[in-house]
């Protein structure tokens, strides 16, 4: 091609602008040919931009966290539901279990062309563009595929960029995923009001039944809610009820029009299917919150489920808690503390109770964490700041029976038996293998018995039964306080929560285990020396699959002979020792002569305990229960003395508060 010819072609393809043959403003008005070329250029550019944006848009590999959140469901030991906890109420339901009439009701209401469209609605796109041109937010006209994409991959904003991304993902998803999979996902993530996500939980919330039991009429109402649950839930207002009925009627008529409901079937649905009143959520009030927290902590500590993953929900947690026992324990506390008069008596203020029942096989079957979880979230069944006091004596005794005593440094250890005799008088000097034990102020430390009573020479078995502090204190020194500590940890107490190892350590000073751990450790004596770590969760499942969770550890820290000797001393405490009130206040408690238990008072009267267990049944493991009563300053969180709490009838100089044993016996009489 010649140069002249090429220039002519270039002039044709590149029209001059502004137009030189025109004058004034007309120079800037494009010719029809120029306008056409400009429109073509814009169209080509827009097509290229859209093509590139579409090519670069990927279907996200991860669902957004909100879309996958479900509530975690906790169950009682008998399998009945205890509580639902989580940010949303959702339960996935396979599409084949959702009636086709319910599916088509949703399609009729939201996207009748779902099975024939390509994931987007041309009308919706046009409406989005028109709204954009007028300066508004994009909204409305989305297909079910688009709504599903918005629910599970994107956020809920209504911006143009989000809308475009939604459309691109919808088209690609429609190409790669079956319609049934998309519908399944949508029906399990859509919002239906009343805190529910997914048609299964909606069926429960509005009709109290499984979605598989819904008919077309009920399905049409649930489909109505998808337009806006706040506007169509009949329970909210009369106006809502009116709108719901009108929309329900329209959905059923629409199903007839789309061929998914016969006229005969439609004629049968003339009465609006009134949903039930909004159910009261299964909350965390009463003892439920304490139980849930305990089970949640166990799952966290004994499985590979991260806290972040657990919070997304969908787990079913089957606990060890037995509802009759939990109720009986709460009632026993309520009944026995009903006479406290904090307004009239200072010593009755800020009284707290923590209690727990642990089976000898490790199951935590009941606990009492406080009067109400909503009012007092701090869990007194798990509290570990209250000294166990003289309820620690059985562990000192068990250590002596197991390890013997070191009476002279460098000599072999001397065996300890229940009949080993110790000086039970008050103010007896405490000895070490090297001689007297001197305090930091330069004086010899002496024993202190409750009430200053002197018992003379008594056996260790009697010292345990009668809570004679002197022999127990000296036994602790003879065995070695480090060995005493180890024996109590072997029995089930946690390694932390032990204070300074001084002579008073043997009487529980500075030893602050939780009621759960104390009950578990006493259960070791009831189980012939075998100890199973306490646990609150039987199993965890998700999507029908069992989740791995560590099994509780079983150890044998004491021989059956040693455990039996401790058990005998605890039975003596009930029949004739400090715990004999357990039989008297029990009002003829069955098997009273076989009860085993121990009272506990802390130095300074800062706490009162009772720990014990009835004989095991023919088929059940023995259940040990510990009850701790204390007072806690709400401002400083410091313990206050129990002196005078409940008045003379409930507070004695000899054995401290009687509240723990009275609560224990009432509970055991009711729960067995």
Give residue limits of the domains in the chain: 3-56, 88-268, 389-479
pLDDT at position 333 is 96
For the chain, counts of helices (H) and of strands (E): 24, 22
In whole angstroms, give the CA distance from residue 632 to residue 387.
Answer: 13
Burial (Cβ within 10 Å: 0-12, 13-18, ≥19) of residue 419: exposed
Distances in Å between the alpha carbon of 426 and those of 236, 313, 646? 73, 59, 29
Question: CA of 357: how far to CAs of 72, 73, 191, 422, 621, in Å?
Answer: 25, 23, 41, 33, 12
Average pLDDT of each block of 10 consecutive residues along the chain (672 residues)? Answer: 54 57 63 65 57 50 61 93 80 88 92 75 60 45 74 55 61 72 85 85 91 94 91 90 95 94 93 84 82 94 85 90 97 94 91 96 96 87 93 98 93 95 95 91 90 94 96 97 97 92 94 97 96 97 90 95 97 90 58 80 93 74 93 91 84 68 93 78
- For residue 27, what is the DSSP state? G
* Those residues with Cβ within 8 angstroms of residue 138's Cβ, 6 or more apart along the chain or in another chain: 127, 128, 131, 132, 158, 159, 160, 163
Look up the CATH superfamily of 88-268.
Biosynthetic peptidoglycan transglycosylase-like (1.10.3810.10)
pLDDT of residue 587: 45
- Site of tokens 């096989």: 361
- Give the integer Cα–Cα distance in Å for 484 and 164: 71
Q: Helix H segments across 158-198?
A: 160-176, 179-187
pTM: 0.73
Q: What is the greatest pairwise CA distance in the chain?
A: 134
Query: Residue 54's pLDDT is what?
Result: 46
Distance CA 245, CA 237 (A): 13
- Say what the pLDDT of residue 12 is: 47
Contact 443, 384 (CB under 8 A): no
Q: Which residues of 564-584 are buried (b: 16+ CB within 10 A; e: fewer)?
A: ebbbbbbbbbbbebbbbbbbe
The pLDDT, as a whole number, for residue 211 is 92
């Amino acid at each position: 091609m010649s140069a002249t010819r090429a220039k002519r072609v270039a002039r044709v393809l590149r029209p001059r602008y502004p137009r030189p043959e025109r004058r004034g403003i007309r120079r800037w008005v494009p010719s029809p040919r120029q306008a056409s070329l400009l429109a073509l250029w814009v169209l080509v550019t827009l097509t290229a931009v859209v093509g590139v944006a579409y090519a670069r848009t990927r279907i996200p590999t991860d669902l957004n966290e909100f879309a996958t959140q479900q509530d975690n469901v906790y169950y009682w030991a008998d399998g009945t539901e205890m509580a639902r906890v989580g940010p949303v109420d959702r339960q996935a339901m396979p599409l084949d279990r959702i009636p086709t009439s319910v599916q088509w009701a949703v399609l009729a209401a939201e996207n009748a062309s779902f099975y024939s469209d390509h994931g987007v609605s041309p009308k919706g796109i046009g409406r989005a563009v028109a709204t954009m041109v007028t300066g508004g937010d994009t909204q409305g006209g989305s297909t079910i595929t688009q709504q599903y994409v918005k629910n599970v991959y994107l956020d809920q904003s209504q911006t143009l960029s989000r809308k475009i991304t939604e459309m691109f993902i919808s088209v690609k998803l429609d190409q790669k995923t079956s319609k049934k999979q998309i519908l399944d996902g949508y029906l399990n993530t859509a919002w239906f009001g009343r805190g529910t996500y997914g048609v299964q939980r909606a069926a429960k919330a509005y009709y109290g039944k499984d979605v598989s039991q819904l008919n077309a009429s009920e399905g049409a109402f649930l489909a109505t809610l998808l337009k806006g649950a706040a506007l169509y839930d009949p329970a909210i207002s009369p106006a809502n009820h009116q709108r719901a009925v009108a929309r329900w009627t329209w959905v059923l008529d629409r199903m007839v029009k789309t061929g998914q409901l016969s006229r005969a079937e439609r004629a049968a649905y003339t009465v609006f299917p009134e949903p039930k009143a909004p159910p009261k959520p299964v909350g965390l009030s009463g003892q439920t919150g304490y139980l849930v927290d305990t089970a949640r902590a166990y799952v966290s500590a004994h499985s590979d489920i991260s806290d972040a993953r657990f919070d997304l929900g969908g787990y079913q947690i089957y606990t060890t808690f037995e509802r009759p026992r939990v109720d009986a324990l709460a009632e026993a506390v309520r009944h026995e503390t009903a006479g406290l008069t904090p307004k009239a008596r200072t010593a009755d203020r800020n009284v707290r109770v923590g209690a727990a029942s642990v089976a000898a096989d490790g199951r935590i079957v009941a606990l009492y964490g406080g009067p109400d979880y909503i009012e007092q979230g701090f869990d007194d069944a798990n509290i570990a700041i209250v000294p166990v006091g003289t309820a620690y004596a059985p562990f000192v005794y068990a250590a002596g029976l197991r390890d013997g005593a070191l009476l002279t440094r460098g000599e072999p250890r001397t065996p300890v038996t229940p009949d080993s005799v110790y000086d039970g008088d008050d103010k007896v000097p405490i000895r070490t293998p090297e001689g007297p034990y001197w305090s930091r102020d330069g004086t010899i430390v002496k024993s202190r018995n409750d009430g200053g009573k002197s018992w003379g020479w008594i056996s260790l078995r009697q010292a345990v039964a009668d809570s004679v502090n002197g022999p127990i204190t000296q036994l602790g020194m003879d065995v070695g306080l480090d060995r005493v500590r180890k024996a109590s940890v072997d029995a089930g107490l946690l390694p932390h929560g032990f204070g300074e190892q001084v002579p008073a350590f043997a009487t529980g000073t500075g030893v602050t285990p939780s009621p759960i751990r104390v009950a578990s450790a006493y259960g070791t004596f009831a189980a012939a020396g075998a100890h199973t770590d306490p646990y609150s969760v039987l199993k965890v499942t998700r999507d029908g699959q069992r989740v791995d969770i560590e099994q509780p550890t079983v150890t044998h820290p004491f021989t059956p002979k040693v455990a039996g000797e401790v058990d005998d001393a605890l039975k003596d405490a009930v029949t004739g020792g400090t715990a004999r009130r357990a039989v008297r206040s029990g009002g003829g408690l069955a098997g009273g002569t076989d009860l085993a238990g121990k009272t506990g008072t802390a130095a300074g009267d800062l706490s009162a305990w009772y720990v014990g267990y009835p004989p095991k049944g023919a088929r059940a493991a023995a259940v040990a229960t510990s009850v701790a009563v204390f007072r806690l300053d709400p401002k400083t969180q410091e313990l206050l003395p129990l002196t005078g709490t409940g008045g003379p009838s409930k507070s004695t100089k000899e054995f401290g508060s009687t509240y723990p044993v009275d609560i224990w016996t009432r509970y055991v009489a009711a729960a067995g």
